[in-house]
Amino acid sequence: MRATGSHDASLHVELIGAAQREHAAEVWAALERANPTAPLVCRWAWTDVWLTHYGDSLPHRCAIVRRDGEPVAAALLVSGRARRSRITLTRLYLGTAGGPQEEEVAVERNGLLCAESDRPPAASALVARLRRERGFSELRLDGWLPVHYAAFAAAEPSLVARSEPSPMVDLAQARASGSDVLATLPGKTPYHVRRSLRLYGDVSSEWARTPEHAHDIFEELVSLHQARWRAAGEPGAFASPRRLGFARDLIDRLLVTDEIQLFRVRSATETIGCLYNVRDADDMLFWQGGLAQASDNRRKPGFLTHVECMQACSDRGLDVYDLLCGDAPYKRALSTGERELIWARGMRRGPRAALSEGLHSARRLLPGRSSP
């Protein structure tokens, strides 16, 4: 299998094991100083916290791309096992992905830590090195930003991609038009939110200002979230101790840089909702939430909590409120547009991968089956 992009012979890829985590941290730090706008989920703070909670169960290495001995790019490589069409495959993920679905942290807005100009040659060098590696049946790129994914697509023609919409609200456009955020939302959403405000009465909102304040909001968020999902017969996002510990430790690591932000909305008598958001540059990304259970269907605690947070984000000068991927109807009702993220797989090799692909293709031909 040959790459379509040219390979820079001056680049060398070094793969280091889990025991060299301190060395990896130094390399990541140097690259982040040179590339301060790199996506949050491929930076070291996020990666290090993830490794603390998932590194013991998922084999991993760090790939460092060097030019004349100096690092120009870095990525985490994670080995995970997953079933596809009843066949268990060993997958190699680029980034903090992998693991059982009930424990996994969904990674979105992923990318390669490097300068924009180095992205194509670094991706090509990394792909060339991974082609020589053994021990995996499939390469996976989950939740990648299209501009970052494009470099890998050019380097590895076997990659098959699907895109998913990420509903969002353009806060900058709302400010430029002189409107509040609520007025820009589609359909009957403004009516529903205004009715909720009348039913709840006086409403106040707060950002977490200190770690103690943030953990107070988070613990209430977890309680509300778990109660709501257990009532629906589902385990909830925080039933996994790993995911719960990851979320807690991320607060301690990133609250100080404003890259993790906790938000709470209250009425005079109760908490309406709590949000756990991730700030990536001038975008606010909704990660998890906990909402009150309303006996009156006219009350929309989710709509109200999100809209209050959207307006607060706009007031802070943020440009986008991103609800991230998912087909929940509330995301459409609360968005003014969408962006896309990419999920891709490639380098499929070996009899298990071939059998899995054959079974999957056969299932798609059955009546009522559609392509993923």
Domain edges within the chain: 11-159+347-364, 167-339
The more confidently predicted of residues 87 and 76 is: 76
- Cα(216)–Cα(140) distance, integer angstroms: 37
pLDDT digits (tens, 9 = 90+) for 137-167: 999 999 999 999 999 999 999 999 999 999 9
The more confidently predicted of residues 261 and 352 is: 261
Report the SS3 class of residue 280: strand
Share of the chain above pLDDT 70, in %: 90
Q: Is the pLDDT of residue 5 over 60?
A: no
pLDDT digits (tens, 9 = 90+) for 310-351: 999 999 999 999 999 988 999 999 999 999 999 999 987 655
CATH class of 11-159+347-364: alpha beta
- Cα(164)–Cα(342) distance, integer angstroms: 7
Reduced 3-state DSSP string for 99-159: CCCCCCCCCCCECCEECHHHHHHHHHHHHHHHHCCCCCCEEEEEEECHHHHHHHHHHCCCC
DSSP 294: -
Res. 295 pLDDT band, cuts 50 70 90: confident
Residues 357-362 have a mean pLDDT of 44
- Asked whether 122 and 11 are in contact (CB, 8 A), the reply is yes
Domains 11-159+347-364 and 167-339 share a fold: yes
Res. 294 pLDDT band, cuts 50 70 90: confident
CATH class of 167-339: alpha beta
Res. 83 pLDDT band, cuts 50 70 90: low
Q: Which pLDDT value is given to residue 351?
A: 52
0.85 exceeded by the pTM? yes
Q: Is the pLDDT of residue 273 over 50?
A: yes
- Cα(226)–Cα(220) distance, integer angstroms: 10
Share of the chain above pLDDT 90, in %: 83
